[in-house]
Amino acid sequence: MNETDPGMMDAGQLVALFKAGKMSPVEATQAALERIERFNDKVNAYIHVDHEGARRAAHASARRWGQGQPASPIDGVPVSLKDLTEVAGMPAREGSLTMPDTLCEKDAPPARMLREAGAVLLGKTNSPEFGWKAVTDNRVYGATANPWDTRLTPGGSSGGAAAAAALNMGVLHQGGDSGGSIRIPAAFTGVFGFKPSFGWTPQWPPAKEPTLSHIGPLTRNVRDAARMLNVIGRYDFHDPYAVRGQPDDWGVDLDCDLRDLRGLRIAYSPDLGYARVDPQIAERVREAAAKLETLGAEVVEMHPGFASPIDVFRRLWFTASLELWSQCDEKQRAQLDPGLVANARQAENWSAVELFRAQADRARLTMELEHFNQSYHLLMTPTVPIEPFETHQEVPPGSGMRDWEEWAPFSYPFNLSQQPAASVPCGFTANGLPVGFQLAGGKHDDVRVLRACNAFMEAYPPRFPAMPDPTWQPT
């Protein structure tokens, strides 16, 4: 890493230089905008960039730092927001032809909190239509590409945020996760992604299935994620599902002895007892489990014992698609992603009793996981069991799969349970594609999850795609 290039720095490095008067937020913002200009045509991570607004915010931040009165510890740090999040002065088409291209008048809670903290809002990142699938393409903005190989998907639905984080096109990136939408693209692009406990990061307007949706960060390291959570992880009354009790400092345990995870009990499940995992990914995650043991954790290979909840998740997720579809007129229905429509039409055949039973099964799964966490602090799995595959595909070509839920069995259980879960980069396949492992904890045990993730990433630092311009070509 070029330690003098502001475009390669994390939030901690930037803020230290702002405080010392050795760098201005204007320089940091310009560096981020230059990286967007350099890389975005290759990956299509950003669908809107507010050059003028970002520069104006950077100058205001520089004045505050010059007066010794920063608005927060991330004042002047460049950030991005997902297209599903409303940001005043920016569009929020949610990847859909059914949505107008008018500019939003108000900030959703994450945008407002970041703006009040003095962060520089660079723009909006790409998502599939209404975030309905775990890859990132739509009929408005097209597909986002994986920085490690632009023929491949970065995952989704926060694929734009993940690609931006991998290339440091901005430093802090907001994603949303209703079934893996932060963790899946984090694994596919080799960055850190964290889904906090439900209700601790507020959102408004609500997601299409609000009880599954978690707002969280995608960053290059855990400390930056904690810095972002110290801003967006605060109670907001606008969100009827918001919960109080967040830690005063989300990074409170990150300065503990990084090589001492003694006392931490981790259950390592290679496949949850039912998933099929690519052998290379299984090997990288097994190696990561051994590395956690070298850091002092007790790692025990075992399964938590629940059956696949894929049908439970589909009942809830497809019903949300049906509600969305039912609110559209005939013209709008023709504009929707055919896969989203297929989900909606499938849900038409379900009864209210079936939906009620799905909710009851969800409660039982949550109970089982919470009981499991009384014996094991964390549950470790692969994040995704496959390598990234071609863009514009919902499932790997030739796999015989019907929908994305079939290749993402490790993520949505923890949306159903509303527990915190993270994806941590842990190496590469023979094709040079990133692999991630997942750590999930008991509800509201977010600080413990973050500490374990940070210990691993500090001991085994990830590497990121270079994409040297202009000669870079996908491998």
Which among 80, 181, 269, 423 is annotated as catalytic? 181
- The token pair at 286 is 């097994």
Distance CA(139)–CA(121), nearest Å, equals 25
Judge whether 157 counts as a catalytic residue. Answer: yes
Inter-residue contact 151 to 391 (CB < 8 Å): yes
Backbone phi and psi for residue 253, each to the nearest 5 degrees, phi listed first:
-100, 5
Judge whether 331 counts as a catalytic residue. Answer: no
Judge whether 417 counts as a catalytic residue. Answer: no
Q: What is the DSSP string of 115-180?
A: HHTT-EEEEEE--SGGG-SSS-EETTTEE--BTTBTTB---SSSHHHHHHHHTTSSSEEEEEESSS
Distance CA(127)–CA(253), nearest Å, equals 33
Which among 42, 72, 80, 82 is annotated as catalytic? 82
Q: Give 349: exposed, middle or buried? Use CB within 10 Å, 0-12, 13-18, 19+.
A: exposed
Distance CA(312)–CA(179), nearest Å, equals 12
Q: What is the DSSP string of 392-445?
A: T-SS-TTS---SGGGG-TTTTHHHHTT--EEEEEEEE-TTS-EEEEEEEESTT-
Q: How many CB atoms neighbour CB 400 within 10 A?
A: 7
Which among 24, 61, 157, 321 is annotated as catalytic? 157
Distance CA(365)–CA(342), nearest Å, equals 27
Q: Give 58: exposed, middle or buried? Use CB within 10 Å, 0-12, 13-18, 19+.
A: buried
Distance linking the first and last C-alpha atoms of the chain? 22
Instruction: Give residues with Cβ within 8 angstroms of 128, minimum separation 6.
Output: 95, 135, 136, 137, 138, 156, 157, 159, 337
Q: Which strand (E) or helix (H) includes residue 379?
A: strand 378-382
Q: Is 334 left (phi over 0), alpha (psi -120 to 50) or beta?
A: alpha
Which residues are identified as catalytic? 82, 157, 181
